[in-house]
């Protein structure tokens, strides 16, 4: 590996371990890499510096899944509902970064995740509600718009998209492939914005290169785990992951 020279070896090792877990989770479930990395990796690095090194890796991971599993993408749902609504919120999130209290935003986001995932986990305990109906109308619009705003601010607005997509696409392969195209599209926009801001200096690029093996190993482990997840286990794992992420955001703030 080529660790960032400004990071002590133990800090780089901890960050590498966090990202290995994050990339494994995202490859297996279709979401979670940036959320886990931001929530836990901020112990090691400031969030902006972390995102500048992480977004290129997450883009590569999403492109790999999207291209390899392109036959499973729900293109109509993605292009008509999911991507346009999140894209509307993205620039507002980018503008919000310098004007709002990041701690307050993250804690508010954490509360939302815990409440949302707890309600869904309760619903899943009832056999008749194994696959709740897809969201429509204003509820879907507001959730995806908020997801776009948070993705622009923190690179991690996925939980809203995860919630909406989980209700609309019950098949785990279609769900994962569709989200991969969404993440790739949004992260391309983030990457272009960061590049225009001059964010990719030598230390950040060195850190990205050093963490590349974690991304590759996490992808392999996640593909293995995804093939072994039964449909009945998949949705509970998705919402348990969201709940855990919300708790971490509340604690870290």
**pLDDT value at residue 118:** 84
Work out the mean pLDDT of the chain and round it to a whole number. Answer: 82
pTM over 0.75, yes/no: yes
141: CB partners within 8 A, 6+ apart: 85
75: CB partners within 8 A, 6+ apart: none
Q: What is the pLDDT of residues 8-62, one digit of tens each?
A: 888 899 999 999 988 998 888 887 787 778 777 877 887 778 888 888 999 999 9
Give me the phi and psi of 241, to 5 degrees please.
-65, -40
Looking from the CA of 183 toward its CB, the CA atoms found within 13 Å total: 36
**pLDDT value at residue 172:** 82
* Residue extents of the structural domains in the chain: 9-252
78: DSSP letter? I
Q: What is the pLDDT of residues 50-108, one digit of tens each?
A: 888 888 999 999 999 999 999 999 999 999 999 899 888 888 887 776 676 767 767 77
Q: b or e along 3-30 (b: 16 or more beta carbons within 10 Å of the residue's beta carbon)?
A: bbeebeeeebebbbebbbbbbbbbbbbb
CA–CA separation, 127 and 137 (whole Å): 26
């Amino acid at each position: 590996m080529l660790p960032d020279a400004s990071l002590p070896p133990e800090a780089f090792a901890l960050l590498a371990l966090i990202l290995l877990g994050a990339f494994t989770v995202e490859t297996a479930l279709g979401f979670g890499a940036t959320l886990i990395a931001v929530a836990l990796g901020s112990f090691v690095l400031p969030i902006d510096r972390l995102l500048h090194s992480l977004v290129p890796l997450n883009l590569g991971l999403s492109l790999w899944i999207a291209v390899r599993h392109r036959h499973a993408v729900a293109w109509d749902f993605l292009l008509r509902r999911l991507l346009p609504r999140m894209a509307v919120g993205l620039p507002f999130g980018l503008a919000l970064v310098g004007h709002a209290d990041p701690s307050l935003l993250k804690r508010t986001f954490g509360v939302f995740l815990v409440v949302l995932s707890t309600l869904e986990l309760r619903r899943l305990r009832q056999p008749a509600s194994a696959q709740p109906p897809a969201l429509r109308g204003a509820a879907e619009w507001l959730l995806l718009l908020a997801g776009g705003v948070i993705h622009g601010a923190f690179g991690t607005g996925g939980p809203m998209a995860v919630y909406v997509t989980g209700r609309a696409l019950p098949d785990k392969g279609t769900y994962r492939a569709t989200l991969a195209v969404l993440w790739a599209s949004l992260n391309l926009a983030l990457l272009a914005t960061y590049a225009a801001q001059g964010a990719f200096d030598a230390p950040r690029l060195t850190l990205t290169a050093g963490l590349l093996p974690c991304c590759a190993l996490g992808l392999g482990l996640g593909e293995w785990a995804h093939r072994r997840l039964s449909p009945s286990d998949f949705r509970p794992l998705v919402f348990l992951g969201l709940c855990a992420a919300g708790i971490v955001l509340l604690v870290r703030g």
